[in-house]
Chain A
Amino acid sequence: EIVMTQSPATLSVSPGERVTLSCRASQSVSSNLAWYQQKPGQAPRLLIHGASTRATGIPARFSGSGSWTEFTLTISSLRSEDFAVYYCQHYHGWPKTFGQGTKVEIK
């Protein structure tokens, strides 16, 4: 099983700041990596697939990068609606494991 490790667990940020979230895979997943956003009481929402391709309707302030085992989600200028938990997930074989999540909270 591929283990996905996200860091940090929690990030305290002010609106307008640039945010960088990390996700590491225990073995290569090529570019088979997605990012999801989850707000309290809501279902996850797809942000990024293929490590760097924004999903339909996702604002340009969200960007993804990386390949093989190291990945990054960047929010260029944090808005109030971006405070949430972010999960990475690989889809390079089975099982499709998720990271434990990074909570982005208001500083």
Chain B
Amino acid sequence: EVQLLESGGGLVQPGGSLRLSCAASGFDFATYGMHWVRQSPGKGLEWVSGISGSGAYTYSADSVKGRLTVSRDNSKNTLYLQMNSLRAEDTAVYYCAKDVQQLPYNWFDSWGQGTLVTVSS
């Protein structure tokens, strides 16, 4: 059974940094692309970043480029989102999601339960 468990969320001041983690199990992690998707309180879903199974290719939404960086450690079966220069509008629940192929070009067939990031002074 595929399991994705996010962690690392919390309260951070504007301009601060945070690193989210997503621990994966139940599948061959290195074989699949992964994504981060966020959801602001009471709002819809916004795709944030995607990364290939090898980690060689990454993609990000324009709204987070240069501030939020996706990476992965396949030896630890873990996906990361390094969040720098955080803004109030980055406040959201952050989900990790599994792609269905090596390259992150497809739909998401499994999601974690999410971790809440609150950016506020």
Could you tell me which A residues sit within 8 Å of B by CB distance? 1, 34, 36, 38, 42-46, 49, 55-56, 87, 89, 91, 94-101
Contacts and interface: CB of A to CB of B under 8 A. Distances in A.
Interface string B35-49: 101000000111100
20 contacts: A34-B107, A36-B108, A38-B45, A43-B111, A43-B112, A44-B45, A44-B111, A46-B107, A46-B108, A46-B109, A49-B107, A89-B107, A91-B105, A95-B59, A95-B62, A96-B35, A96-B47, A97-B47, A101-B44, A101-B45
B109 A100 contact: no
A42 B11 CA distance: 21
Contacts of B47: 89, 95-98
Given A91-B106, A97-B47, A98-B44, A44 B59 contact: no
Contact of A98 (B46, B59, B105): B46
Interface residues of B, number: 22
User: Which of B35, B59, B108 counts the most A-chain CB atoms under 10 A from its CB?
Assistant: B108
Contacts of A95: 47, 59, 61-62
Nearest to B98: A46
Contacts of B114: 43
Interface in B85-120: 95, 100, 105-114
Nearest to A87: B45
Interface in B27-71: 35, 37, 44-47, 50, 59, 61-62
Contacts of A96: 35, 47, 50
Label chain A's interface by main secondary structure.
Answer: loop
Given A1-B62, A43-B114, A99-B44, 10 more contacts: A34-B107, A43-B113, A46-B107, A46-B108, A87-B45, A89-B107, A94-B59, A96-B47, A97-B47, A98-B44
B59 A43 contact: no
A45 B45 CA distance: 12
A89 B62 contact: no
Given A43-B95, A95-B61, A87 B44 contact: yes
